[in-house]
Amino acid sequence: MKFRILAFCLAAFIGNANAQLSTPDTIRTGKGPLVIQPVEHASVVFTVAGNVIYADPAGKKELFKGLAAPDFILITDIHGDHFDSSAIATLKAAKTKLIVPQAVADKLPASYKPSVIVLKNFGVTTQNGITINAIPMYNLPETPDSKHPKGRGNGYILTAGGTRIYLSGDTQGIPEMRSLRNISVAFVCMNLPYTMDVPEAADAVLAFKPKIVYPYHYRGQKGLSDVNAFKEKVNAGSKAIEVRLRDWYPKQ
C-alpha cells in the first residue's frame, strides 16, 4: 500500500507539472518506484531512489517547466537534439552533475568542470546508489564520414535496485546492443538516415530481449517512423517483450 501511494504521488506530481507531456509510467524497483516521464524526441526524465535524472534534455525548454530539478544530466552525443547547451544552462541546478562523453565535455563551459563526470565507452560510475554504464553507440558500416562514429558518443545503462534501464542514444543494431542481457527497460531509437529503420530496431530488440521497450527518437527526414509496425514485429517474434508506445512529440 505504501508503495502504491508513493508511486501515485510521484506520477501525479510529474504528470500535473506539465499537461502537454505524455502521462508518466511507474515501475517497481528494489529502491522504490521508477517514474518515467517521456518529454520529447530523445529527452526523458527518470525519478528513482530519490534522484531525478534528465537524459538528453534538448529543444523546447518549456516542456520541462514544473519538473523537479535534475540531480544528474546524461548526454549521449554532440548533436543538437541531444546536447543543447542553452537547455542545460536553464535546467541545471547547483547540485546537478553532468555525465557525458569526452566530445561533449570538450564543448562545455570551463565553469561546469567541477560538476562534469566523463565516461568513455564501457566506463562506469556509481552516483547516489545508481550505477551508470556507458555503452557504445554508432552507425554501421563504420566509415570516415559516419554521422555517429564509434567511440564518440555513449548509450547508457542505469541500474537502480536491480532494475536495468538502457538508453540507446543514436545507434544502429550494433553487436554491443544485441549482446546486452537482463535489461528491464529499453529506449531504442529508429529514424533514418541517422540511426536505423524499424525492421533493424525490432531485430536488435529481439536479440537482447528487454522486458519492456519504448521506441523513442523516431523522427527522421521523412517524418515519424511507424512505431506500430515496430510493435507488431517485436511481438511477432516474442510476446514476452512489452512494447510501450508513448507520445514523444507533444503538440504545442
The domain segmentation of the chain, as residue ranges, is 2-243
Q: Are 47 and 194 in contact (CB under 8 A)?
A: no
Residue 7 banded pLDDT, cuts 50, 70, 90? very low
Q: What percent of the chain has pLDDT over 90?
A: 87
pLDDT of residue 250: 87
List own/partner pairs for 88-93 with CB under 8 A and 24 or more apart: 88/57, 90/61, 91/54, 91/57, 91/61, 91/64, 93/69
pLDDT of residue 6: 42
pLDDT of residue 144: 86
**Fold of the 2-243 domain:** Metallo-beta-lactamase; Chain A (3.60.15)
Average pLDDT over residues 72-84: 97
d(CA 177, CA 190): 14
pLDDT of residue 15: 41
User: What digits encode the pLDDT tens for the residues 15-27?
Assistant: 444 447 889 999 9
Residue 252 banded pLDDT, cuts 50, 70, 90? low
User: What digits encode the pLDDT tens for the residues 198-250?
Assistant: 999 999 999 999 999 999 999 998 899 999 999 999 999 999 999 999 999 98
User: What digits encode the pLDDT tens for the residues 34-70?
Assistant: 999 999 999 999 999 999 999 999 998 899 999 999 9
SS3 110: helix
pLDDT of residue 102: 98
d(CA 50, CA 47): 7
Contacting residues for 52 by C-beta, under 8 A, at least 6 apart? 45, 46, 67, 68, 69, 70, 71, 72
pLDDT of residue 5: 39
Task: List, in sequence order, every beta strand (DSSP E) within 49-123.
Answer: 51-55, 72-74, 97-100, 116-118
